[in-house]
A and B are shown apart, each in its own frame.
Chain A
Amino acid sequence: MLKLLKKTLQVGQATVEYPFKPVEVAPGFRGKPVYNFSRCIACGACATACPPNAITMDCDLERGIKSWNINYGRCIFCGRCEEVCPTGAIALSAEFELAAARKEDLYCRAEVQLCKCISCGEYFGPSRELEYVLAILKQARLLESGHEGWEQLLKVCPKCRRRKIAGSGAKALGARARF
């Protein structure tokens, strides 16, 4: 008995003191994916990559809103959203205390505004995504000349843009046919 006691004193305590003391997680631990709303451009890459569809996106063309939803109860903490996000808006943290009594507390929902097409007046893409494209183009120095034209072009929905280009193409063809 005494021998055993000695041994236990030597070996020490193996039990962690959680939840009375915080527990250390391993490096590279994948916990709650934390969403940074101000960096998200609503591109939808995470929703496409998310294997269990924990992240979903919806478009409300009536209200001109694109919504981003995550269900932490469905997330499998794979980290693919972090991997694909182009702006670093979502990243896995070390937070693991996610238990909730109400299902609603497991959801996070974000709404971003859509841009109205200046040609047909329909909502088509998230405004901040278009802004982001513009910023990237500027940084790549592709915008030295005709800057305003680009900004205008980005506010035209793909349908109208296609129609416009088809129209100008037809004009060019017609012109060539005449000569």
Chain B
Amino acid sequence: MDQEVKLAELKAKLKNVIKRSVYVYRVDCGGCNGCEIEIFAAISPVYDPERFGIKVVASPRHADVLLFTGPMTRAMRLPAIRAYKAAPDPKIVVAYGACGCSGGIFHDCYCVWGGADSLFPVDVYIPGCPPTPAATLYGLAMALDLLQQKIKGEQLVETEVTRVTPKYEGVCPDLAKDIEREARRLSGYLHGRRIAAQYLEFVREKDPLAVDRKIKELVKQEKDPRLAEIFLSLHKIYMERVGHNAG
């Protein structure tokens, strides 16, 4: 216990002292290499962490910060422990990537022990799969107390029953489903959802003739032929239904 308190004190002192020369050593405990690529992207001139004195070194004996990437696999736990022991105290331990934080997508593999915190006391978690270079910089700056933490744990409790309204109010759910499905089929879920929402905005008018006119106008003005085609094929579904219903 005494030793732990002393270590914490030393760590606080370390954070004060190393501001301009931080040596980072990364330990790959069995990841997919995505995280490594992002770390190397982060030390490229575009992000240039050396302007804060952050430098990736090749030996744990020089390290102030240990960056554990990848899930803690059974095969890599001994090398990881050796790297941890080799780094001089006090040191800052960072769990990097979804795998380093909790095992990530590999968390239930037979040979995975979990994140870096299954073996070491972790100071900062940097989530992401992989974290972008900017997220890496942010995490390292946070580990050095240069930046504040932004994310907060949340607890939400329902006290009285909330009414959730359907996504496209005033539109027949069956039609909305077909439109959204076709839009997603043609352009993927992200854009499909946006396009379907835009189209169903028109359908809310209820008057098929007005919808027809507006869509034709929209298609005429649309510069992107792909988008125009998607709108036309959505419109076909709508018109077929309307015609069917009328007949």
Contacts and interface: CB of A to CB of B under 8 A. Distances in A.
Contacts, number: 174
B246 interface: no
Contacts of A105: 149, 151-153
Given A86-B167, A105-B153, A135-B166, A73 B101 contact: yes
B161 A113 contact: yes
Contact of B125 (A53, A106, A108, A140): A106
A51 interface: yes
B239 interface: no
B155 to A, nearest CB: 5
Nearest to B96: A99
A74 B153 contact: no
Interface residues of B, number: 62
Contacts of A74: 98, 101-104, 107, 127
Interface of A: 14-16, 18-19, 23, 25, 28, 32, 37-41, 51-53, 71-77, 79, 82-83, 86-88, 96-113, 127-128, 131-132, 135-136, 139-141
Given A14-B46, A127-B161, 16 more contacts: A28-B190, A38-B164, A73-B102, A74-B104, A76-B104, A76-B105, A77-B128, A96-B132, A97-B135, A99-B142, A99-B143, A104-B153, A105-B149, A109-B155, A110-B158, A135-B165
5 contacts: A25-B132, A52-B98, A87-B164, A88-B193, A110-B155
10 residue pairs, one from A and one from B, having the closest CB atoms: A73-B101, A99-B139, A76-B129, A110-B156, A52-B105, A108-B154, A83-B189, A74-B102, A127-B161, A37-B156
